[in-house]
C-alpha cells in the first residue's frame, strides 16, 4: 500500500519536547482534523508509523487502520474525534491537572488520539495486534465492520482516556430512536391536540417513566437510564395539509437493562405517533479478575502507580467487542476523561509516556 509520510508539523512551544517516537506520533496526529467521516488523513499518518517500522499495515474498506500481529491481545482505539477547534500548542505546566512538564493542547489529545498513539507505540514494541477504527463518535461503523471481518482475538484493550493509573471495566449501552407524529392541519382556535402537542406530551411521559425505572438512584449515574432529546422539529407541512413533529432521542442503557427493555419502556409511553429505532450498543461490565486486568494492574504498579477500576456512564466500542467476540475486554488510556470533547482538551506528555510504558509492559506479559 502507499501511505503519506508524517508531516513536519510546527507546534508552538514544542521545541525539544517531542523527543520520543510516541510523542512525535502524537504531535503528528493531533493537528490533523479527523471528525467522524473525515479520518483518512490521520489514518494515513498512523499507517505510515507502522510501515516505517516494518509492520504490515493496510486500510480496510471501512477506513480502519489495521496492523495485524500477535492476537493474544488486540490494541484498538478510534481515529475520529468530535468536531471543534482547540488550538494546538505545548504549554509548560498545568496546575489544574497537577502537571509540571509539557502539556499538549488540541482536539483529540485526550479523546482518543492520546490512547491511540500510545497503543500504536506499544503494538510496535511488543508485536501485538492493532486497529485504529473510524466512526466511534457517531455510529461505530469501524468497530461494527471489524467484528464481522476478523476472528476474535484472545483479549482486547480498548483505547479511551481513563488516566494512566486506572482501568475502565464498564460502560453503559446506548439506543437511539426517532419519534414522528402527524395530525391534520386545522384552525389554531380548535382544541384538539396537534402533532407537536403529542410529541411534547410523549416526551414528558418518557421522562417520567425513566425516573420511575431509576428509582432512588442518582440521576445520570452508571446504574441508571438516561433519556436525552438530541433534536426536535415541527410545524405546518409545506403543503399546509398537516402539522408534523419529530424528535431525535438517545437513551443510555445501564447493565441492569438491555436496549430491548429500554425500547419497550419508551414504546409503552406512546399514544400517538411512532418511534423508529436505530442501531444500539449493549452495556458492558468486565470482571476485574483474569489475566487481562491483572496484567494492566501489574504494569501500572511497575510504573509507580496505584491502579483503580472505573465504570463510566458513556458508551464505547469496547461494548461491541465484548458482545460479539465474548472475550475479556477492558479499556485503558492516558488523559482526564473530564476533558473529553471539551474546549480545553489537553494531555500532559509525562502521563502519555507512562501510559505507553504501562501498555508495553502489559502487552509483553500477554504476548509472552
pLDDT per position as a tens digit, 93-131: 999 999 999 999 999 999 999 999 999 999 999 999 999
Q: Are strands 284-285 and 166-171 parallel, antiparallel or unpaired?
A: antiparallel
The three-state DSSP-derived secondary structure of the chain is CCCCCCCCCCCCCCCCCCCCHHHHHHHHHCCCCCECCCCHHHHHHHHHHHHHCCCCCEECCCCCEEECCEEEEEEEEECCECCCCCCCEEEEEECCCCEEEEEEECCCCCCCHHHHHHHHHHHHHHCEEEEEECCCCCCCHHHHHHHHHCCCCCCEEEECCCCCCEEEEEECEEEEEEEEEEEECCCCCCCCCCHHHHHHHHHHHHHHHHHHHHCCCCCCCCCCCEEEEEEEEEEECCCCCEEEEEEEEEEEECCCCCHHHHHHHHHCCCCCCEEEEEEEECCEECCCCCHHHHHHHHHHHHCCCCCEEEEECCCCHHHHHHHHHCCCEEEECCCCHHHCCCCCCEEEHHHHHHHHHHHHHHHHHHHC
160 is in an annotated binding site: yes
Mind listing the pLDDT tens digit for each residue in 5-22? 344 458 999 999 999 999
pLDDT band at 187 (very low <50, low <70, confident <90, very high): low
CB 109 within 8 A of CB 31: no
pLDDT band at 190 (very low <50, low <70, confident <90, very high): low
Give all domains of the chain, ordered by start, each with its CATH number: 21-172+283-367 (3.40.630.10), 173-281 (3.30.70.360)
pLDDT band at 1 (very low <50, low <70, confident <90, very high): very low
CB 158 within 8 A of CB 271: no
Residues catalogued as catalytic = 80, 136
Return the percentage of the chain with pLDDT > 90, whole number. Answer: 92
223 is in an annotated binding site: no
Query: What grid cell was written down for 157?
Result: 484493550
How far, in Å, CA of 107 to CA of 94, rounded?
Answer: 17
Query: What grid cell was written down for 247?
Result: 424528535
How far, in Å, CA of 128 to CA of 155, rounded?
Answer: 11
How far, in Å, CA of 196 to CA of 180, rounded?
Answer: 10
pLDDT band at 238 (very low <50, low <70, confident <90, very high): confident
Residue 296's pLDDT is 98
178 is in an annotated binding site: no
137 is in an annotated binding site: yes
What is the mean pLDDT of the segment spanning 192-198?
93
What is the mean pLDDT of the segment spanning 345-367?
98
Q: Look at 7-11, 150-154, 189-193, 333-337 and tell me which has the smallest mean pLDDT.
A: 7-11
317 is in an annotated binding site: no
Q: Of 7 and 192, which is predicted with more confidence?
A: 192
Return the percentage of the chain with pLDDT > 70, whole number. Answer: 96
Mind listing the pLDDT tens digit for each residue in 132-168? 999 999 999 999 999 999 999 999 999 999 999 999 9
CB 66 within 8 A of CB 60: yes
Residue 9's pLDDT is 56
How far, in Å, CA of 131 to CA of 70, rounded?
Answer: 12
Model pTM? 0.93
Query: What grid cell was written down for 30?
Result: 493531533
Amino acid at each position: 500500500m502507499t501511505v503519506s509520510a508524517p508531516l513536519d508539523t510546527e507546534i508552538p512551544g514544542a521545541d525539544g519536547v517531542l523527543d520520543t517516537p510516541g510523542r512525535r506520533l502524537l504531535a503528528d496526529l493531533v493537528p490533523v482534523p479527523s471528525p467522524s467521516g473525515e479520518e483518512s488523513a490521520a489514518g494515513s499518518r498512523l499507517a505510515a508509523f507502522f510501515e516505517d517500522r516494518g509492520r504490515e499495515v493496510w486500510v480496510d474498506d471501512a477506513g480502519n487502520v489495521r496492523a495485524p500481529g500477535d492476537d493474544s491481545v488486540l490494541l484498538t482505539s478510534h481515529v475520529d474525534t468530535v468536531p471543534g477547534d482547540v488550538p494546538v500548542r505545548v504549554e509548560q505546566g498545568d496546575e489544574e491537572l497537577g502537571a509540571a512538564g509539557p502539556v499538549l493542547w488540541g482536539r483529540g489529545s485526550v479523546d482518543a488520539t492520546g490512547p491511540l498513539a500510545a497503543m500504536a507505540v506499544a503494538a510496535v514494541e511488543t508485536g501485538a495486534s492493532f486497529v485504529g477504527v473510524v466512526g466511534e463518535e457517531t455510529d461505530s461503523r469501524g468497530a461494527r465492520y471489524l467484528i464481522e471481518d476478523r476472528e476474535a482475538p484472545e483479549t482486547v484493550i480498548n483505547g479511551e482516556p481513563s488516566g494512566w493509573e486506572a482501568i475502565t471495566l464498564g460502560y453503559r449501552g446506548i439506543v437511539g430512536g426517532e419519534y414522528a407524529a402527524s395530525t391534520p392541519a386545522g384552525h389554531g382556535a380548535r382544541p384538539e391536540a396537534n402533532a407537536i402537542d403529542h410529541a411534547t406530551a410523549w416526551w414528558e411521559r418518557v421522562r417520567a417513566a425513566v425516573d420511575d425505572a431509576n428509582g432512588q438512584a442518582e440521576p445520570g449515574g452508571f446504574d441508571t437510564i438516561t433519556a436525552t432529546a438530541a433534536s426536535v422539529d415541527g410545524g405546518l407541512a409545506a403543503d399546509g395539509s398537516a402539522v408534523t413533529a419529530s424528535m431525535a432521542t438517545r437513551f443510555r442503557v445501564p447493565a441492569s437493562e438491555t436496549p430491548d427493555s429500554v425500547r419497550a419502556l419508551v414504546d409503552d409511553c406512546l399514544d400517538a405517533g411512532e418511534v423508529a429505532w436505530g442501531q444500539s450498543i449493549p452495556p458492558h461490565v468486565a470482571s476485574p479478575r483474569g489475566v487481562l486486568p491483572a496484567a494492566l494492574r501489574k504494569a501500572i504498579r511497575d510504573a509507580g502507580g496505584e491502579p483503580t477500576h472505573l465504570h463510566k456512564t458513556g458508551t464505547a466500542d469496547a461494548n461491541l467487542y465484548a458482545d460479539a467476540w465474548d472475550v475479556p475486554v477492558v479499556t485503558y488510556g492516558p488523559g482526564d476523561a473530564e476533558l473529553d470533547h471539551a474546549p480545553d482538551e489537553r494531555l500532559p506528555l509525562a502521563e502519555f509516556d507512562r501510559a505507553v510504558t504501562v501498555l508495553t509492559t502489559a502487552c509483553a506479559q500477554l504476548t509472552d
